[in-house]
């Protein structure tokens, strides 16, 4: 693998197989040397260094980037030897573990990497790669030296307890670690709450319960206080479970630990029920959420088809990304219309939602609408007072699109069919929102009549609180074990996740710099439109703009946005 050109600029080198840093005197701080870096030119184009963001601070450079032949790019993760070059190494205790004695080649080759894109043209560059996850032959911690801690942050998600259990049991069963703390109440628990001791026995059956035994919270991130607590308690491995905001906080913790020169490994396990974490194939809890959403959709379908002109509206999670709504719709086959944040829609006029509702009710006599919580927010802002507020994690507080859409269908739908109906009565609004409003009472006998019966179902918190299903339980195990192997091998400042079915260590900046979204010009969204037979609600200009936004770079081709299932290989 060749290094960056321009000899005057030193290259940041990763740890060698013997555990020492190669030419440690050549290591340099990319952040302080940015102004003097002359970027290389490849294929006539200047190479841009990726930027990550520190929580509440200025942009930061991603860590080590190395180049190889054929357009190969490795976005590597930090290693303890980058700033502690003289650390000793020890044989991996897994080599004496009878459970793994049957594995022919259990240890991962140090040069193994995982390609971000696996569909390429004949002459395409090899593209971006990440370091493959898994156990190494040499580790940088002795078993009795490890003092680990686990913290869960942000909202609830199926599988949190499973990840906690597998980290504790994995550390104990594979590496003989016995000192493991649970940090209660999210980030603020480091300095404002008690800790609990976690053992393999105490976490044995927690995977059967929803939520998190450690408790969670939003916000509360104070980098200096957190690192002070880590240092005072003698903790040297930190496992942080949370979404993109939590991973930004983990990145800030890593930077402060690196600045202080502490031998502490920071490992992130990405958590978001919305499946909107960038780079990785999917996040844990997503399969469970899609499966559980079927219950709400089935209930809405039963209610809708049991009455004349019945409409079932189901609101699912999806603040900025509509993956749950899309996959739940595809899995159900009972949904007539799916609305997601990535695909704008309009109510009135030719080709609008109200016209489609009228046509579908005439054809089938009932319909089911699935709407992601972040869909149609631009329409809500126009018709209601804007709410420019954020929660403790920095997420914008969204208006309830489900209630709003239900009201619009019940009222504006009749306006659309027979102009002249207006809502002025406050008591009438209460009846609409409580589902006791009978439309035909508000139309004179000489006008066109169409009564509708609408049922609105919001299963959000029911879905978040359930235990993970079998598929997610296996996935959580792989995530936890990969994180453990990475921390024991001395890697730090990384997030773990499957990339094209292979688990890899990903720099924090890559999973926090952007949000993964449904690409409405991809085949998966086309499959949904084909399944529901709904209009796209997009003009020709919308489609062209979407295609321009999703044009692939020279390194990669657009993928199909299928949620990949890990094959279990790490």
- Residue 218 assigned ligand-binding role: yes
Q: Is 89 annotated as a binding residue?
A: no
CB-based burial, 343-354: b 16+ in 10 Å, e otherwise: bbbebeeeeebb
As given in the structure block, the two tokens for residue 268 are 């992130």
Structure tokens at 160: 């949190």
Residue 274 known to bind ligand:
yes
- Three-state SS string across 493-547, please? CEEEEEECCEEEEEEHHHHHCCECCCCCCCHHHHHHHHHHCCCCCCCHHHHHHHH
462 is an annotated ligand-binding site residue: yes
Structure-derived torsion over alpha carbons of residues 158, 161, 167, 172, reported in degrees to the nearest 10? -150
373 marked as binding residue = yes
- Dihedral, CA of residue 329, residue 331, residue 333 and residue 338, to nearest 10: 10
Has 333 been labeled as part of a binding site? no
220 — alpha (psi -120 to 50), left (phi > 0) or beta? left
Q: Give me 86's structure tokens.
A: 């003289």
Q: 329: annotated binding-site residue?
A: no
Q: Which residues pair with 372 in a beta bridge?
A: 316
DSSP for 223-263 reads HHHHHHHHHHHT--EEEEEE-HHHHHHHHHHHHHHHHHT--
SS3 320: coil
387 is in an annotated binding site: no
Beta bridge partners of 113: 131
Q: Are 35 and 102 in contact (CB under 8 A)?
A: no
d(CA 252, CA 268): 12
Pairing of strands 502-507, 127-132: antiparallel
Question: Is 219 one of the annotated binding-site residues?
Answer: yes
Q: At what angle do helices 470-488 and 286-305 cross, to 10 degrees?
A: 160
To the question of whether residue 318 is assigned a binding role by annotation, the answer is yes
Q: Which residues are known catalytic residues?
A: 274
Which residue ranges are tagged as binding site?
A: 155, 218-219, 243-246, 272-274, 317-319, 373, 461-464
Which residue ranges are tagged as binding site for substrate?
A: 272-274, 317-319, 373, 461-464
Which residue ranges are tagged as binding site for ATP?
A: 155, 218-219, 243-246
Which residue ranges are tagged as binding site for Mg(2+)?
A: 244
């Amino acid at each position: 693998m060749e290094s960056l050109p321009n000899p005057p600029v030193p290259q940041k080198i990763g740890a060698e197989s013997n555990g020492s840093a190669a030419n440690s005197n050549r290591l340099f701080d990319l952040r302080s040397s940015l102004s003097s870096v002359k970027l290389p030119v490849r294929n006539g184009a200047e190479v841009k260094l990726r930027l990550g963001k520190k929580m509440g601070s200025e942009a930061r450079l991603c860590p080590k980037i190395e180049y190889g032949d054929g357009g190969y790019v490795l976005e590597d993760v930090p290693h303890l030897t980058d700033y502690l070059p003289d650390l000793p190494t020890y044989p991996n205790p897994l080599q004496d573990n009878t459970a793994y004695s049957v594995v022919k080649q259990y240890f991962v080759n140090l040069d193994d990497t995982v390609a971000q894109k696996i569909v390429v043209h004949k002459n395409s560059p090899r593209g971006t790669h990440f370091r493959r996850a898994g156990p190494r032959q040499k580790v940088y911690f002795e078993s009795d030296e490890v003092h680990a801690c686990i913290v869960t942050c942000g909202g609830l998600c199926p599988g949190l307890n499973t990840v906690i259990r597998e980290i504790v049991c994995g550390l104990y069963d594979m590496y003989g670690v016995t000192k493991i703390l649970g940090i209660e109440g999210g980030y603020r628990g480091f300095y404002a709450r008690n800790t609990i001791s976690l053992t393999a026995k105490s976490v044995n059956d927690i995977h059967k319960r929803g939520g998190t035994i450690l408790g969670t919270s939003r916000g509360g991130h104070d980098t200096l206080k957190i690192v002070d607590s880590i240092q005072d308690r003698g903790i040297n491995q930190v496992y942080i479970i949370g979404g993109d905001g939590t991973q930004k906080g983990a990145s800030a913790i890593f930077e402060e630990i690196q600045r202080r020169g502490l031998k502490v490994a920071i490992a992130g396990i990405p958590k978001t029920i919305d499946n909107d974490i960038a780079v990785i194939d999917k996040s844990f809890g997503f399969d469970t959420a899609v499966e559980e959403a079927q219950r709400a959709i089935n209930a809405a379908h039963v209610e809708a088809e049991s009455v004349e002109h019945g409409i079932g509206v189901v609101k699912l999670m999806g603040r900025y990304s509509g993956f749950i709504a899309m996959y739940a719709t595809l899995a159900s086959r009972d949904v007539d219309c799916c609305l997601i944040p990535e695909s704008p829609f309009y109510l009135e006029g030719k080709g609008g939602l109200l016209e489609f509702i009228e046509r579908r009710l005439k054809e089938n006599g009932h319909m089911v609408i699935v709407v992601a919580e972040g869909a149609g927010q631009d329409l809500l802002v126009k018709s209601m007072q804007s709410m420019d507020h954020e929660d403790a994690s920095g997420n914008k507080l969204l208006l309830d699109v489900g209630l709003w859409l239900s009201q619009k269908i019940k009222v504006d739908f009749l306006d659309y069919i027979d102009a002249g109906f207006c809502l002025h009565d406050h008591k009438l609004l209460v009846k609409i929102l409580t589902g006791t409003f009978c439309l035909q009472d508000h139309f004179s006998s000489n006008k066109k009549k169409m009564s509708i019966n609408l049922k609105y179902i919001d299963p959000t918190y029911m879905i978040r609180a359930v235990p993970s299903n079998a598929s997610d339980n296996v996935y959580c195990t792989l995530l936890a074990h990969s994180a453990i192997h990475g921390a024991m091998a001395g890697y730090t400042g990384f997030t773990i996740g499957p990339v094209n079915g292979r688990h890899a260590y990903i720099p924090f900046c890559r999973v926090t710099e952007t949000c993964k979204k449904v690409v409405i010009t991809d085949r998966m969204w086309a499959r949904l439109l084909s399944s529901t037979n709904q209009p796209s609600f997009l003009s020709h200009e919308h489609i062209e703009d979407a295609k321009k936004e999703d044009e692939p770079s020279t390194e990669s081709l657009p993928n199909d946005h299928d949620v990949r299932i890990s094959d279990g290989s790490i």
